[in-house]
Structure 1
Amino acid sequence: MAKESSFDIVSTVDMQEVDNAFQQARKELAQRYDLKDSGAEISLDKSAGTLTVTAPADFVASQVIDVIGSKLIKRGIDLTAVKWGDSTPSSGGGVRRCATVVNGIDKETAGKINKDIKAQKLKCKVTIEGDKLRVSSPSRDTLQEVIAFLRGQDYGQPLQYVNYR
């Protein structure tokens, strides 16, 4: 009997690349003519995985977010991995927007992925292991079909397929 093949579905972001994009965006804020003396600032908390933009107005905050987004894309980070919150008033009449970097698959999304795979009626087994899912099947072709199916779906965060054996 053939042994079982498997792969893991994970959602991870390289925080070093986020830090590099943050540093580049900070430099661009200091050099760009329209943002240089606007009072806009960005900060990164690597341990908590949060980005914070402080700006004098919503328009300026959205400009800074666009700059950060372009730097993240250049660094190979999917923008769906960054969840921006709503604008909140900050001291001095400005606004503050916070973003969290999504790392791991939460239980709700994992359950939805599991349900969608089962709805395809493929001969495979899905197990939820913490913040990742393991899909196993005797047929490698079935695993390829699962990956192709999941690439066509949108779960609000980037998915990676690792440990394919």
Structure 2
Amino acid sequence: MNSHSIMVVPSVFAAFDKDGDRKVSVSELRCCMAASLGEDISEEEAAVVLAAADADGDGLLNQEEFSRLATGADEEDDVRRRCLREAFGMYASSSTEDTTTTMITPASLRRTLSRLGSHELGVEECRAMICRFDLDGDGKLSFDEFRVMMMA
């Protein structure tokens, strides 16, 4: 983090923390992204962003977590993201390499786990595994949902 970021992040954090509880919620994140960046994101998208940066798992961003999110990924995060994309591609239902449109379905999860030698799971068991991290409720895991799952 450079010296400019260190000085800017506390004031940006305070602007995002509308209720002054020293935590940024999904609704505060959504509101401020729309107001300050012109980014109108859905509740689900904001939840994915927040969950990815929420190191302590409380569903809110403290100033340190917010700072990491605001200052961007470092080289280690880039390597981690590439590894996650590769792993996601193994489980995704499409054979294309475009992880923005592919999804992990219960059937693709079952197929991959079987290929990896895992004991035989039924589609319903795979659906239950996916359900826990399926933030938008579509029954499949997007890359962002997969990333949240892998960081949990």
Higher relative contact order (CA closer than 8 Å, sequence separation 6+): 1
Larger-gyration structure (1/2)? 1
TM-score normalised to the size of structure 2? 0.27
Bigger fraction of residues in helix: 2
Which is strand-richer, 1 or 2?
A: 1
